Amino acid sequence: MSETVLDKLLRYVKIDTQSNEECEETPSTKKQFDLAKLLVEELKALGIQDVNLDEHCYVFATIPSNLPNKKVPQIGFLAHLDTAPDVSGKDVKPQVIKNYQGGDIVLPGDKSIVIKMSENPNLEKCIGHTIVTTDGTTLLGSDDKSGVASIMQLVQTLKEHPEIPHGNIRIGFTPDEEIGRGTSCFDLKKFNCEYAYTIDGDMPGELNKETFSADAATITITGRDIHPGSAKNIMINSVRIMGDILARLPKYMAPETTDGYKPFIHPIAAEGSVLKSQIKFILRDFKTEGLTLQKEILESIIAEVQAIYPKAKIELEIKTQYRNMYDSLAENPYGCDYLWEAAEKAGVSPYWSPIRGGTDGSKLTEMGLPTPNIYTGGQNFHSRTEWVSINALEKTVETLVNLVQIWANK
């Protein structure tokens, strides 16, 4: 029997590919090469001859057109190799639940970790499906190894069914997407596509052509250290100052109080000592100009706290991460139209949904390659309660197969 997308996913998630935002190199972790090299071997085993793995851990490959007498635009499919730094991706032990019949899912490696139906309404849509989780001690890595598996399943399907018409198809697997650097060394000319799609999404039917615009912010506080026994009127405790800054963040702009198109200011890490402390934030808004407002909010908080601690040094640094891809895709809508048609043909009910996050497609679209996003059936990314429906992932593969035919026919 031919290998299934489930077989591929179970193999890939067991390979630790966690990225590291503290490392400035690309890839940020050498272990991402472990999966990249395996994919190169598998692509060659499937008969793909044009396969390249570069020094930055980008895998590019070409499925040649089977329509030699017809000019078809070259399109690409992309997924990222790395998993999020939030939770360990080492020694993943996937749990396969066949014919899921509803109810909470207690994870065997840590029974205090439960995937609750009350927190996962999409579980009800997956009654009868095959569900994959972890044992509760790690994340699963469905984000984005489900995307990787679906692309590899597409390659296998096209090789097994040469009657399916398609033009040249470029395959790309990228490192470091989870730390916002998935396209930092991406060679757009080498990839050479008119349109591309990331496979890195949610439930069946959900298609994405708009993401947050994103910046990173760092507040660094420098105080003065001295023995606490003689600290009066001398010590400047940067930890205390850090707490005052955090307490002033607007609660109505926290991730836990927002949804839909609402923006947020999210402190993701804080560390410090009396002498020096630092807070790291991610700033998100679907309107790029809203990031300026968020910067002003942080500046206002700093000014207020600075007045209380005039001898402290409080600095704010803002770094651009990615921008909403909506406007660029609206100027090049045909590839999105084809995607909608492909999803309909797969038997799902497509709908456009904003991503409260970003994909490699955000930056690629900004760079000039229109790149909307396609669902995989995954949920609870970056957590120990991550899960994916294999039935949904099979619909992803079906959508990709439909999509290459639509491009060929159009």
Q: Which residue has 């669902």 as its token pair?
A: 375
Single-letter code of the amino acid located at 106: V
Q: What is the pLDDT of residue 392?
A: 97
Active site (catalytic) residues: 82, 177
pLDDT per residue rounded down to tens, the chain (410 residues): 589 999 999 999 999 999 998 999 999 999 999 999 999 999 999 999 999 999 999 999 999 999 999 999 999 999 999 999 999 999 999 999 999 999 999 999 999 999 999 999 999 999 999 999 999 999 999 999 999 999 999 999 999 999 999 999 999 999 999 998 999 999 999 999 999 999 998 999 999 999 999 999 999 999 999 999 999 999 999 999 999 999 999 999 999 999 999 999 999 999 999 999 999 999 999 999 999 999 999 999 999 999 999 999 999 999 998 899 998 999 999 999 999 999 999 999 999 999 898 889 999 999 999 999 999 999 999 999 999 999 999 999 999 999 999 999 98
Q: What is the pLDDT of residue 357?
A: 83
**CA-wise closest residue to 381 among 76, 13, 109:** 13
What is the rounded CA–CA span in Å between residue 221 and residue 315? Answer: 6
Q: What is the pLDDT of residue 3?
A: 95
Q: What is the pLDDT of residue 1?
A: 52
How many CA atoms within 13 Å lie on the side-chain side of 169? 26
Q: Are 117 and 79 in contact (CB under 8 A)?
A: no
Q: What is the pLDDT of residue 300?
A: 98
According to DSSP, the residues that pair with 45 across neighbouring strands are: none
Q: What is the pLDDT of residue 2?
A: 84
**What domains does the chain contain, in order, with CATH numbers?**
5-211+324-409 (3.40.630.10), 213-321 (3.30.70.360)
DSSP code string of 210-271: -B-EEEEEEEEEE-B---GGG-TTT-B-HHHHHHHHHHTS-GGGSGGG--TT--EEEEEEEE
Q: Which residues contact 327 (CB under 8 A, 6 or more apart)?
A: none
